[in-house]
Amino acid sequence: MAPTDRFVSENTFYVRYAETDAMGIVHHSVYVVYFEEARSHYSRVQGASYADFERSGYWLTVAEVYARFGVPTRYGQRITARCWLGEFKSRGLTFMYEIVDAETGQVCVTGYSRHVCINHEGRVCKIPESWAQIMRKGIPGAQDDT
């Protein structure tokens, strides 16, 4: 369940036909894309743009992703992607996700992704302070492990 002690972003959209598979449901790989768009949205509503972050010379690479599939979703269904910060460290962070039916609130899929900050030379580095500040807003009491 989405936590109550930190910021949880929500974006709601329709399942696209191309996202379904021959089982008549959303293909499981698509939720990894929903997760990604959920964290794009998270940054956006926190006042940061991941596109700007990239342009400033950094990437948050994906180190791990996990998804647990409970209830299938289908074409035309309105779903809400919830996203919040799990862990925030100086060189990386974890995003948590919940994909829920937008009408009923039923939780369909959950998951997380772990990210590491690298620069465009591919070296692991500290998340730049301007971006770290914005991320820390979402997880009150978060301290850097610097």
Q: In the bound complex, what is the minimum distance in angstroms from residue 19's beta carbon to its own copies? A: 8
Q: Residue 13 interacts with its own copies (CB under 8 A)?
A: yes
The verdict on 74 binding its own copies (CB under 8 A) reads yes
Q: Taking the complex as a whole, how short is the minimal distance between the CB of residue 102 and its own copies, in angstroms? A: 14
33 lies in the binding site for its own copies (CB under 8 A): yes
59 phi, psi to nearest 5 deg: -135, 145
Could you tell me the smallest distance in angstroms from the CB atom of residue 68 to its own copies? 5
Task: Tell me if 103 contacts its own copies by CB under 8 A.
Answer: no
| Cβ–Cβ < 8 Å for 93, 135 | yes
Q: With binding defined as CB under 8 A, does residue 23 bind its own copies?
A: yes
- Residue 56 binds to its own copies (criterion: CB under 8 A): no
Contacts 24+ apart (CB under 8 A), 18-27: 19/75, 20/74, 20/75, 23/72, 24/74, 25/72, 25/73, 25/74, 26/72, 26/73, 26/74
Give the residue with the Cβ less far from its own copies, 64 or 144.
64
Confirm or reject binding of residue 32 to its own copies (CB under 8 A). yes
One of 2, 8, 48, 65 touching its own copies (CB under 8 A): 65
DSSP 13-50: EEPPGGGB-TTSSB-TTHHHHHHHHHHHHHHHHTT--H
Are the C-beta atoms of 90 and 55 separated by less than 8 Å? Answer: no
State which residue, 21 or 144, has the beta carbon closest to its own copies.
21
